[in-house]
Structure 1
Amino acid sequence: MKTSIGLTLAATLLASTALAQDKQVTIASWGGSYQEAQSKALFQPAAEATGIAVKEETYGGMSDVRLQVSSGAVTLDIVASGSGSAARAGAEGLLEPLDYDVIDVSSFYPTLKSEFCVGGDVFSTVYAWNTDTYTDAAPQSWADFWDVETFPGSRAYRGKVAGALEPALMADGVAPEDVYSVLDSEDGIERAINKIRELKPNIAVFWSSGAQHAQLMKDGEVDMTTGWNGRFDNAAKDGAKVAYSFNQALLDYDCFAIPKGAPNRDTAMEFLAEISKAEYQDDLPKYITYGPTNKAAYDTGVISAEVAAGLPSSPENAALQLPISLEWYAKWETIADEMYQEMLTE
């Protein structure tokens, strides 16, 4: 009898192991130092812990998801996304709603999840400068970024509307807490675009990716640029003469979503539950200085006080910043980007 029970138990274990080995997910992110950090901190350790095989790809954003969903040929199970892009894609019907009975977000910052996307990291859109160019005084506000007399030199700026309009309004004297109220009309959007138009003669490059704006600073091609804090920190490690400030930065987050019709939807949900745990998120700052969305990651002892001081989601740094409004992006981004692209082609 014992032998029979033992054989049955062994067979069950073998079957469950085989089942785990059959589970797989395809994850798409944006490449570069960002995806490398995700892979080392989240994807590879979670794959080892769960037995879920992970295939990594890079992609061009939600436009790729839209193409797959509309053609009925979805190959991606999980995609990394900006929070605003995910909000719009969810509203468009491109994403699966997430099951928060499976994904535990009880210790997350409350704003860092949505129906269709669960936060993976917190980052900031900052202004950065070449420390060789500005040796005496450095810019400390968006008004300084626009001040080409006090801070002469070339600029780079984002070529998409996301994260482009808010700095312009703050440079134009709008208080951070009033930015989205002003932007809640085409007139307000035009005001921000006009402010960028004013700076345009000094903008040498309108960048399109994090890798690009980091490279611009590494090469010394521009004296100032907007961009994402973690990319600049990694560029500095590689020898770039770059510094930045969190003052008036835009506090945002990246998240993970599941495309509608993903071939391994349930496994993807299980994998998202795993990488949302504090014991994975506390490793991310080892590779890139983006903050965890899971507050418990600050309590594991892995993130030192010194490291926390450089993370966007630390309380001290978060207090200096303007949180991105997903509601505004869901309502206005399509219209605003059309207006913005028109300005860029003038």
Structure 2
Amino acid sequence: MKRSIAAPLAVSLLATTSAFAQDKEITVASWGGSYQEAQSKALFEPASEAMGITVKQETYGGMADVRLQVSTGQVTYDLVASGSGSAARAGAEGLLEPLDYDVIDVSNFYESLYSEYCVGGDVFSVVAAWNTDTYGEDGPQSWADFFDTEKFPGTRAYRNTVSGALEPALMADGVAPEDVYEVLSSEEGIERALDKIRELRPNIAVYWSSGAQHAQLMKDGEVDMTTGWNGRFDNAAKDGGKVSYTFNQALLDYDCFAIPKGAPNKDLAMEFLAEISKPEYQDDLPKYITYGPTNKAAYETGEISDEVAASLPSSPENAAKQLPISLEWYAEWEQVAAEMYQEMLTE
């Protein structure tokens, strides 16, 4: 009698477990455009298939959206793509779940490309890009060139938020890259950078708000040069855009993945994050966008050729030309700098 009851019960539990596995779903939010398309093809879709789970993708506006969800107790995102500085601040603000590095293997990650609340997904650069119809291949080779409207007459686009906006201005004003964050660590230094941007303002036609926007500006030839993210420009060039850029004096930064506080499927999101951090996924990312992997082992799988590696921001030759973003500065000063920047934009 006991066996006859136990057998159907076992079958029932097995069926329930199987159904539960099939119903597993997480919601991932990123920034859209060619960037999210690359993430989807290299990371999200293959990892979803390997794990046998459903990954629902959304496009979002950054940590402000996470803040709104957490503050209202209506969290729908399980995993979000974020800039490294934004994640550092959001973590300090209590908006993110601490990551479990017993689950996520970062033993082969580049140093400083993961933190308590965010693990690196790719390495990118903020570069000076130009329209090759306007300047040929000899566009601006430094931030001083970018700000020099006599040597390089024409329209500019510049970022509408402070992230990656002040450092180029200071280098254009003659500050050595290694001294940039020391100078920016005072309101006077921030004001110096803002004054340099004010000088350029008559030539700034657009303040861009997203990677998709600044790539489109260059594809359409709406501006002669802009700041922006290298991979977006490479994709714009592949699509026929007349655009080139330089890694010289670029800002070396990384995007990362974070789990919002109170994510409805936190544990599954952690497992998914562990999966997409593996080299066999990260080595595919440069096929779709020229951002470097954060997992060093991705360079050893044979998927990334020497030629492709030479075009990636994290290659030793390119990295040596750049200024690494200071998360410490952003954690301490960004709020003050952002308020000053917005005041400047509305003057």
TM over 0.5: yes
Counterpart Cα distance in 2 of 1:110 and 1:70 = 32
Give the residue type in structure 1 aligned to 2:158.
Y
Cα offset, 1:226, TM superposition: 0.3
Match of 1:310 in 2: 311
Identity %: 81
In structure 1, stretches of 5+ residues that fail to align are none
Q: Which amino acid aligns with 1:326?
A: L
Q: Structure 1 residue 77 and structure 2 residue 88: aligned?
A: no
Cα distance change, pair 335–120 in 1 and its aligned pair in 2 (3 A): same
Q: Secondary structure at the match of 2:241?
A: coil
CA deviations 1:271-326 (Å, max 9, x no partner) are 00000000000000111111100010000000001111111111111111100011
Deviation (angstroms), 1:269: 0.3
* 1:89 and 2:90 aligned: yes
Residue 11 of structure 1 deviates from its aligned partner by 8.5
Specify the alignment match of 2:287 in structure 1. Answer: 286
Residue 18 (structure 1) shift:
3.5
2:300 matched to 1:299?
yes
TM-score scaled by length of structure 2: 0.95
Which residue of structure 1 lines up, in the alignment, with residue 332 of structure 2?
331
Mapped to 2, the partners of 1:50 and 1:69 lie a distance apart of: 27
Alignment of 1:118-137 (within 5 A): 118-135=119-136, 137=138
Deviation at residue 22 of structure 1 after TM alignment: 2.6
Structure 1: distance between partners of 2:71 and 2:269: 20
Q: Which runs of 5+ in 2 are unaligned?
A: none
CA contact (8 A) 1:20 1:50 kept: no
1:84–1:330 CA contact under 8 A, matched in 2 = yes
Question: Equivalences for 1:1-346 in 2 at 5 Å?
Answer: 17-135=18-136, 137-346=138-347
Q: Letter of the aligned partner of 1:55 in structure 2?
A: K
Q: Secondary structure at the match of 2:135?
A: coil
Which whole-Å CA distance do the structure 2 matches of 1:321 and 1:44 have between them? Answer: 32
Secondary structure of 1:81's counterpart equals strand
Letter of the structure 2 residue corresponding to residue 124 of structure 1: S
Distance change in 2, residues 1:248/1:21 (3 Å): same
Superposition deviation, residue 20 in structure 1: 2.6
RMSD of aligned Cα (Å): 1.8
* Shift of residue 63, structure 1, vs aligned partner: 0.7
**C-alpha distance in structure 1 between counterparts of 2:161 and 2:310, whole Å:** 30
The separation in 2 between residues aligned to 1:281 and 1:8, in whole angstroms, is: 43
Q: CA deviation at 1:135?
A: 2.4
**What's the TM-score, normalizing by structure 1?**
0.96
User: Does the aligned pair in 1 maintain the 2:137–2:244 contact within 8 Å?
Assistant: no
